[in-house]
């Protein structure tokens, strides 16, 4: 059952007023707010959490700051996220802890919770500006991606030939822009390596070296999703529907699924039901979906639906990173990588 917000928690730690939470307040620290202010943030956070669970999202969206609206706080995006929480975590069944704290001019409410659809302890956090506008909101695992221990079952090869550059990848938020997204926190964004040093003007997606590059199946499996008709974006546009754009999902038969996204419209070489071998061309790199330039988005996950399954660490075999052979590893942002000692 859900925690009754009217019942105080034994583990409640109000960081703004209980100095024992941090071992005391040193001279020069900002003065702690009044208890009434802490109580107001606590009540607001509890109420907004219940509204979110109940699907009462219009009011929440209307109270988002412009920055939050731009980062996923629109009504449609909140609806999508609400469904995602249901799919990935299930229903909140226990509140383990609550806290209120402040960073700059933003007051935060955070609750640590258990859901019935995952074994991971989750955090629900709201941030409120001085005028009460919602300046922050997320639900994600407490444990950092770097602490997740997982050995990839599928023998993955890099899903391309030649040298590519990792624009997003790794276990920290600095390395990986996907780090806050439960579905994609271990995902990769990749471009052809020569792109990095090419300063020539680009007016069309086809001006990029990555555009039209063959994308390969990273391992054997069966194609369970294949979308091929999403228009590629002009460079002035960075959004598309669905956000993954044209894509292929491969079921590797062991609870792991590869998602390869932002492919070029009309370029898919496979269909749902096809069996594929590792290294088979499945399509061409494009600029469809939520993409601001041709690149490949790769994610390993535990279900077939993009953006609606649990992301898994993806360890690739037999590749070269910055000139050094790697028998098994996870590429990180800034590396130049290629398949095998001899490349493709």
Is the pLDDT confidence value at 193 over 90?
yes
For residues 222 and 32, the model is more confident at 222
Pairing of strands 92-103, 13-14: parallel
Own/partner contacts of 15-24, CB < 8 Å, gap of 24 or more, are 15/99, 15/100, 15/101, 16/100, 16/101, 16/102, 21/99
Is the pLDDT confidence value at 1 over 70?
no
**62 C-beta neighbours (distance < 10 Å), count:** 12
Say which residues have a Cβ less than 8 Å from residue 193's Cβ, sequence separation at least 6.
162, 163, 164, 165, 336
pLDDT value of position 337? 98
User: Could you give the percent of the chain with pLDDT greater than 70?
Assistant: 88
pLDDT band for position 5 (50/70/90)?
Answer: very low
In the structure encoding, which two tokens stand for residue 335, read together? 């590396």
In the structure encoding, which two tokens stand for residue 77, read together? 């995006």
* Whether 321 contacts 339, CB under 8 Å: no
- HEC per residue, 205-256: HHHCCCCCCEEECCCCEEEEEEECCCCECCCCCCCCCCCCCEEEEEECCCCC
Provide the 3-class DSSP secondary structure of residue 173. coil
Is the pLDDT confidence value at 281 over 70?
yes
pLDDT value of position 90? 92
* Whether 282 contacts 268, CB under 8 Å: yes
pLDDT value of position 141? 87
Is the pLDDT confidence value at 280 over 70?
yes
* Whether 152 contacts 298, CB under 8 Å: no
In the structure encoding, which two tokens stand for residue 247, read together? 């894509």
Say which residues have a Cβ less than 8 Å from residue 247's Cβ, sequence separation at least 6.
225, 226, 227, 259, 260, 261, 262, 263, 289, 306
pLDDT value of position 343? 53
Which residue in 253, 311, 255, 327 sits closest to 88, CA to CA?
Answer: 311
Which residue carries 């583990």 as its tokens? 11
Minimum mean pLDDT range among 44-48, 161-165, 237-241, 258-262? 237-241
Q: What is the mean pLDDT of residues 133-145?
A: 89
In tens, the pLDDT along 63-80 reads: 999 988 877 788 998 998
Q: What is the chain's Cα-based Rg? A: 22
Host H or E run for residue 83: helix 75-88
pLDDT value of position 344? 59
Is the pLDDT confidence value at 19 over 50?
no
In tens, the pLDDT along 249-271 reads: 999 999 999 999 999 999 999 99
Positive or negative torsion for Cα 82, 306, 242, 271: negative
In tens, the pLDDT along 319-343 reads: 999 999 999 999 999 999 999 865 5
For residues 245 and 35, the model is more confident at 245
Question: Which of 96-105, 111-120, 171-180, 203-212 tops mean pLDDT?
Answer: 203-212
DSSP state of 144: -
- The Cα 250–Cα 216 span in angstroms is 11
Across all residues in the chain, what is the average pLDDT? 87
pLDDT value of position 242? 85
pTM: 0.74
pLDDT band for position 186 (50/70/90)?
Answer: very high
* Whether 227 contacts 274, CB under 8 Å: no
Is the pLDDT confidence value at 31 over 60?
no
Q: What is the mean pLDDT of residues 144-157?
A: 91
Cis ω for the linkage preceding 332 (within 30 of 0):
no
* Whether 163 contacts 192, CB under 8 Å: yes
């Amino acid at each position: 059952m859900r925690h009754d917000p009217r019942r105080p928690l034994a583990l409640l730690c109000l960081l703004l007023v209980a100095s024992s939470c941090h071992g005391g307040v040193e001279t020069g620290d900002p003065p702690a707010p009044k208890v009434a202010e802490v109580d107001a943030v606590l009540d607001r956070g509890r109420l907004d959490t219940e509204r979110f669970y109940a699907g009462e999202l219009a009011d929440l969206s209307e109270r988002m700051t412009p920055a939050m609206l731009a980062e996923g706080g629109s009504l449609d995006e909140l609806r999508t996220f609400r469904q995602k929480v249901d799919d990935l975590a299930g229903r909140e069944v226990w509140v383990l802890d609550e806290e209120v704290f402040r960073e700059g001019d933003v007051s935060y409410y955070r609750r640590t919770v258990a859901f019935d659809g995952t074994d991971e302890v989750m955090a629900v956090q709201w941030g409120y500006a001085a005028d009460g506008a919602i300046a922050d909101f997320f639900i994600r695992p407490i444990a950092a991606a770097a602490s997740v221990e997982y050995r990839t079952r599928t023998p993955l090869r890099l899903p391309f030939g030649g040298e590519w550059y990792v624009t997003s990848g790794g276990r920290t938020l600095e390395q990986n822009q996907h780090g806050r997204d439960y579905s994609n926190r271990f995902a990769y964004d990749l471009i052809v390596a020569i792109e990095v040093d090419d300063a020539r003007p680009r007016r069309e997606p086809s001006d990029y070296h990555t555009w039209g590059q063959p994308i390969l199946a990273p391992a054997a499996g069966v194609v369970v999703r294949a979308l091929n008709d999403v228009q590629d974006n002009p460079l002035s546009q960075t959004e598309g529907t669905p956000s993954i754009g044209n894509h292929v999902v491969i079921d590797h038969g062991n609870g792991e699924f590869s998602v390869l996204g932002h492919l070029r419209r009309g370029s898919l070489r496979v269909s749902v039901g096809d069996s594929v071998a590792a290294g088979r061309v499945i399509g061409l790199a494009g600029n469809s979906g939520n993409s601001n330039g041709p690149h490949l988005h790769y994610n390993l996950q535990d279900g077939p639906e993009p953006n609606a399954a649990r992301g898994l660490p993806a360890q690739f075999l037999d590749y070269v990173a910055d000139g050094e052979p790697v028998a098994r590893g996870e590429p990180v942002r800034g590396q130049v990588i290629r398949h095998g000692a001899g490349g493709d």
